[in-house]
Amino acid sequence: MSRKAKRQLETVLFSLPAIILVCLMMYLPFVLSGYYSLTEWNGISKDAKFIGLQNFKTIFVESEDFLSSIWFTTRYTLFFVIFSNIFALALAVVLTKKFRAANFFRGIFFIPYIMSMTIVGFIWKFIFTSGFEKLYEITQWNLWNYSWLGDTNLVFYSVAFVGVWQSLGFYIVLYIAGLQAVPKDVLEAAVVDGATGRQKFFKVTLPLLGPSFTTCIFMSLTNGLKVFDIILALTKGGPGTATNSVTLQIYKEAFTNNNYGLGSAQSIVYFLFVLIITQLVLKGFGRKEVTL
């Protein structure tokens, strides 16, 4: 065999195990999910009853829980994307300043991100119940006496706050990297041209953070759309269905109600929904990126 043929054979042999694993773990389940979405199956019986598009009709006509879970997930994602990026950018700007404890605070903000989201959820569940109750006994402030996880008007903000708090450190790191990559000569030229500190930030620094914005927006968007762990640990979708996300709804339908056909159909619909949203966001932010 020639040297070129040997290299091609090596490439195929080394790539084949990874391709097989990816197909077995991702593509094959996706294809099977598409098939089961057209059936009525409890996940136990050997034969799945083919019912065509009945599951999709159930989703859009008869299933209010799924549509309400999409509305909750959309609201949560918007809140999560906006506030996680605003707070992360503001803190990144502060932490790029030169002061002694900068590295210490960077580590402090990053610690929640390396913790399991389920553990974070249980920690904050304890804080919202026992912790706030103790604070109310000490201070007598009504702020600590609210039912943050039991009131349908407050539970959304409680869950969203915990989600933003847990992931904030990750986006801070990305924005710090973007701020440090801004060319200093461009900033110096802006100062020479008479730009104030505010003008330099909004007219020069922010436009050059386009790639960082695109990355952070996309990551926060996908993390918001697939929220599951924190809600399962904090509220399990309650009270009622006030915090029932789409991923939790699919989980309940398939693994609690043993309705794998309807659960698969819901996952297919949500996959298309997420695909459209993410592509629109990527195209929108990609056009606004500034390159030097």
Give the distance from CA 94 to its chain's centroid.
Answer: 24
Query: Same domain for 124 and 182?
Result: yes
Looking at the structure, tell me whether residues 167 and 94 fall in a common domain: yes
282's enclosing H/E stretch is helix 260-286
Contact 166, 113 (CB under 8 A): yes
Domain of residue 10 covers 1-26
Q: Considering the domain boundaries, does residue 55 fall inside one?
A: no
Whole-angstrom Cα distance, residue 112 to residue 116?
A: 8
In a domain, 53, yes or no: no
Is residue 17 domain-shared with residue 104, that is, in the same domain?
no
Identify whether residues 21 and 107 lie together within a single domain: no
Same-domain status, 18 and 135: no
Q: What's the predicted TM-score (pTM) here? A: 0.89
57: in domain: no
Do 226 and 275 contact (CB within 8 A), yes or no?
Answer: no
Q: Is the distance from CB of 214 to CB of 282 less than 8 angstroms?
A: yes
Q: How far is C-alpha 196 from the geometric centre of its chain's CA atoms?
A: 36
Note whether 237 and 245 are within 8 A (CB): yes
192 lies in some domain: yes
Mean pLDDT, the chain cut into blocks of 10 residues (292 residues total): 85 92 92 92 86 92 89 95 95 88 88 90 92 90 89 93 94 93 87 85 88 91 93 91 93 91 94 91 72 51
Q: Per DSSP, what are the bridge partners of residue 49?
A: 40
Q: Is 54 within a domain? A: no
Q: What are phi and psi of 20, to 5 degrees?
A: -65, -45
Burial of residue 81 (number of CB atoms within 10 Å: 0-12, 13-18, 19+): buried
- Our count of domains for the chain comes to 2
Local structure of residue 47 (DSSP, 8 states): S
Residue 70 maps to a domain: yes
For residue range 54-96, list pLDDT tens digits in order. Answer: 999 999 888 888 989 999 999 999 999 999 999 999 999 999 9
Residues 194 and 139 in one domain: yes
Domain match, 211 and 109 both: yes
Strands (E), the chain: 39-40, 49-50
258 and 156 belong to one structural domain: yes
221 occurs within a structural domain = yes
Based on the domain organization, do 159 and 256 belong to the same domain?
yes
Q: Are residues 146 and 206 in the same domain?
A: yes
**How far apart (Å, rounded) are the C-alpha atoms in residues 170 and 47?**
45
- 187 and 251 in one domain? yes
Which position has the token pair 């926060």? 220
* Token pair of 117 as six digits: 């989201």
d(CA 70, CA 257): 19
Q: Are residues 195 and 85 in the same domain?
A: yes
Domain of residue 174, CATH code: 1.10.3720.10
Instruction: Judge contact between 42 and 262, C-beta under 8 A.
Output: no
In this prediction, residue 276 carries a pLDDT of 92
Q: CB atoms < 10 A from the CB of 117, how many?
A: 21
- On whether residue 127 sits in a domain, the answer given is yes
- Alpha-carbon distance values, 143 to 120, 154, 276 (Å): 22, 12, 40
What's the token pair of residue 166? 């847990």
